Structure 1
Amino acid sequence: MLDIKFDVGVEAASRYKHLRFLGNDLLLYREVSSTNTIAQLIARSGAGEGTIVLSGLQTSGRGRMKRRWACPAGQGILMSMVLRPEIDVQLVPQLTLLCGVVVAEAIRQTTGCEVGIKWPNDIVIDGKKICGILAQSSFSSGLPQYVIMGVGINVNQTYDQLPRECRDTSTSLKLELGQKVSRQRVLEKFIRLWDEHYEGFLKGGHSFLKPMWLANNVTLGREVSITGESELRQGLAVDISAKGGLIVSFSDGSEKEFLADDLSLGSSYYGR
């Protein structure tokens, strides 16, 4: 049983329920600033592999490039996992890609919605974002000490509950299906698939992950606008690398690999 007496400060010591859920230790909060923040704190205090932090509300949720992630209380899945993978440091970025595969498959299997992965960490339905993933890592002596995998899924938001600035580019499962969706069913399927695929990834690495990611992605074969460099460039997304990077082909015949921290894909990706 997980020792829950972590020396992690006032917020993480606030009221929560400690559960065993599908073989995982789960800390269930009513409200936190960020599930990733709590997961980092408990990871530093020794929380084991697979520990999950789940909250009904985040007051300071965030995504990649410090973008805000907002979700009304009880309308989405807001969770972070503590991972302690014994893998080469170059494989760590691929955990984000793996998580994307698991989210896409979990949503498809529980709802029937056709979902896709926009590299590196967005899950989309018909070009609209329904889930974001944020991985944060800590290394020691060149090896991953822990990885925090944060997942935010829009489940039962109405149109008016989506942030005003995101209503044209985001959606929820309820909006897509026209009915309320069980958050527990989606969460259970996610955890079961994660346990299965994570084990396969630890054994097989990139060769295990790549075919699944290719089957779920909606990025390759599309023109992308790259806004992370000093000037805007247009190119064709053609592959993912062994580092989890996106390989883009340019009109002059050159190709370049971009890692997730290097760029943001422009809106032309959506083709809307």
Structure 2
Amino acid sequence: MLWYHIVFLAVIQGLTEFLPISSSAHLILPAQLLHWPDQGLAFDVAVHVGTLMAILGYFRKDIFAIVVAWFVSLKTRQSTPESRLAWWIVLATLPACAAGLLFDDFISTHLRSLEVIAYTTIGFGVLLWLSDKYGTSNKTERDFGIKSVLCIGFAQALALIPGTSRSGITMTAARFLGFGREAAAKFSFLLSIPLILAAGGLKTVELASSNLAVDWGSILAGVILSAISAYCCIYLFLKWLNTIGFFPFFIYRLVLGFILLFIVYIL
């Protein structure tokens, strides 16, 4: 990989993993549009590790409290808001894990085209805007229950389709269910932890079982750049979310989607 490929892809992964604009689509597009070589399995592992470090670092106090409360609840059988949140994260992760096991090969083979990305970018962008415009905002993190968590979990499973956006579809579902912007965003970010762990773990196993040569300089750069960009993204997104809402991301998705349709059908 050339140095600017490394910088671009690592920063893009860090930013788009948590913004509602689809990281998978943005990592596919350079190869499709610019004919860049595939970044490779080792680099995928690196940028996943970077984004995981960012989310763990930013929410370290919350994560510590959630994990401790969960273990205490297992021992004492007493429930607290933090221990319930831990169980909600586990429950909401299950649909995406099941969908990944069942449909990953089909999606990788048939749904990674520019045309699919264009339509999902536009369609789920419209849903994101509608949820923010018409969804109520009276619920907080303490109002999650089995039904709402499962709805968000099944919505997250759709993010296996490139262009959907995991963070986008989970926030969309939460907003339609009446949760405020900050509660929707925070739950979406915390929900990313087990999936990033799973994805990074699977890719690490694949890498360990392969005979690929590893460029450790590129790997280190990918980890550092994706971690920095992801941390900055989380900080700025949560800081500005209540001010700007989701409308700018809807416009971005709309513009990107129609550009891709123009490339597919006109060029």
Normalization by structure 2: what TM-score? 0.29
Higher RCO (Cα < 8 Å, 6 or more apart): 2
